[in-house]
Amino acid sequence: MNITRCLHAALLVSDKSRAEVFYDVVLGLPKVERPFNYAGTWYQIGEIQFHLIEDSSFAAQLHNPEKIGRNPHVAFGVEDLSAVRSQLDSQNHPYQMSASGRQALFVQDPDGNVIEISQDEANSN
């Protein structure tokens, strides 16, 4: 087997409309069309797609609530982490900075899914 790249990642959410507010407005991800008729939303981030799949019974579980980055999560890179912090602060959206000291933070969507946002040094200005 020779895996050549990651095509997409998917997370479950209990309420697609509520989740879209977080992913569209808070994170600013660009939506793309999806060819399926079950409840969900797709986003395009560079070469990879990020899929939300609605399941009304879903509830994320944190195994380590003190350090949310030590739970299952998806990581996104950004050009300017300080701008992300300012945006989250302006929206009163809580986050935790990485305990490792690197330029990264962890935030949760409305269902408790953990999202890491890291300074992408390879694509920084």
Domain chopping of the chain, boundaries: 8-123
Q: What's this model's pTM, rounded to 2 decimal places?
A: 0.90
Q: How many CB atoms lie within 10 A of CB 113?
A: 21
Give residue-wise pLDDT tens across range 13-31: 999 999 999 999 999 999 9
Residue 42: its pLDDT value, please?
A: 97
Residue 36: its pLDDT value, please?
A: 87
Q: Are the C-beta atoms of residues 99 and 106 closer than 8 Å to each other? A: no
* Averaged pLDDT in 10-residue chunks for the chain of 125 residues: 90 96 94 90 95 94 91 94 95 93 95 95 67
Residue 3: its pLDDT value, please?
A: 81
* Fold of the domain spanning 8-123: 2,3-Dihydroxybiphenyl 1,2-Dioxygenase; domain 1 (3.10.180)
Give residue-wise pLDDT tens across range 69-84: 999 999 999 999 999 9
Residues facing residue 96 across a β-bridge:
106
